[in-house]
Amino acid sequence: MYTVRFQLELSGSEKRFLSKSFFYANQMHNQLVRYATNRLNALFHDTEYVGARKAYGEAEFSKKKGSELSASEKKKKKELSNIMCIKQK
């Protein structure tokens, strides 16, 4: 793959406008990343979510297909899934 670069011929006001636009876009990106990181950290430190996730991963139904599950396993799987879904929202 090749990249072709062309020099933009811009006036001073156009350069300032592009510079400010990229600066504010960068600021918004950093704030969004910071917010998402904080929310994920809060989720991963929530004891109820961590417990449900651990129980879901260690349960026997996690290794089986949906058609092979008993009624009690389906119920337990749905309960754990609902807990995790609510916490994620």
Whole-model pTM: value is: 0.62
pLDDT digits (tens, 9 = 90+) for 7-18: 889 999 999 999
Neighbours of 75 (CB within 10 A): 11
pLDDT digits (tens, 9 = 90+) for 20-76: 999 999 999 999 999 999 999 999 999 998 888 888 887 766 666 656 777 777 788
pLDDT for 30: 98
Q: Higher model confidence: residue 82 or residue 68?
A: 82
The mean pLDDT of the chain is 87
The counts of H helices and E strands in the chain are 3, 0
